[in-house]
Amino acid sequence: MKILVSIKRVVDYNVKVRVKSDGSDVDIANVKMSMNPFDEIAVEEAVRLKEKGIANEIVVVSMGPKAAQDTLRQALALGADRAIHIECDPSPESLTVAKALKHVIKEEQPELVILGKQAIDDDCNQVGQMLAALLDWPQGTFISKLEISGKNANVTREIDGGLEEINLTLPAIITTDLRLNTPRYATLPNIMKAKQKPLTSISLDDMGIEQKIHLKIVKMAEPPVRKGGKKVADIEEIIEQIRKVI
């Protein structure tokens, strides 16, 4: 089985993001970037399937500027076999990403595609669902458990009402949730080996895909500073404060 994993380069989750002075976007100049945490879980799950003998090849794909290759090398150090870099502007919209992944999938013919359920920069949670629609493949989103049996994938989804178990016929699309696994750290020998693993680049123009802009950021601002709490003397004062709000 070949597995394709989509990953994204985002601002590291430990970094406190800053909004540009003109309110046009988030300032990423000289900011530490890393792999999207949900995508790390997707890579880890693919590597575990390979370790179990279920998968024999893992291909990772990322879109963005040349710096995205660093993130791909990170995935290769974690256990992926090959990497594909799709060159484009830093922030392609979800539909453009889905169309580009569809093109790669048609070329690579994987039996399973794993994505993080969302990226922590835009929080769109759209690419997996759009990709499944474009390919007309079954999908399992927000999964916290995955079991492969022959040509079927049994997944447990995290939904508002609890857990949902569904069976998917491969090939299929799945998106990972936090509780699926705990990603490993890349060892120094594997980091060195990753430098020798194949990484190919392709542009959206080569795919014949136009990067259309459907959304525009009108303004971005930091959330208001949270006001401090207030101590009250007794329950009557609490009731009085609630009445003022109502």
**Is the pLDDT assigned to residue 114 strictly greater than 90?**
yes
Structure confidence by residue, pLDDT tens digits, 124-165: 899 999 999 999 999 999 999 999 998 999 999 998 888 999
Mean pLDDT over 183-188 rounds to 92
Structure confidence by residue, pLDDT tens digits, 15-25: 888 888 887 77
**Is the pLDDT assigned to residue 47 strictly greater than 90?**
yes
Other Cβ atoms closer than 10 A to 56 = 11
pLDDT-derived band at 63 (thresholds 50, 70, 90) equals very high
Measured distance CA(173)–CA(183) in Å, rounded: 20
Number of domains into which the chain is organized = 1
Measured distance CA(6)–CA(40) in Å, rounded: 10
Looking at residue 236, which CATH number applies to its domain? 3.40.50.620
Structural domain span for residue 141: 2-245
Measured distance CA(77)–CA(195) in Å, rounded: 8
Structure confidence by residue, pLDDT tens digits, 22-44: 877 787 788 888 999 999 999 99
Structure confidence by residue, pLDDT tens digits, 197-221: 999 999 888 888 888 888 888 888 8
The pLDDT value recorded for residue 18 is 84
φ/ψ of 230, rounded to 5, equals -135, 135
Asked whether the beta carbons of 35 and 75 are under 8 A apart, the reply is: yes
Measured distance CA(71)–CA(64) in Å, rounded: 10
The pLDDT value recorded for residue 221 is 82
Asked whether the beta carbons of 173 and 128 are under 8 A apart, the reply is: yes
Mean pLDDT over 168-186 rounds to 93
Measured distance CA(94)–CA(128) in Å, rounded: 9
Measured distance CA(186)–CA(21) in Å, rounded: 37
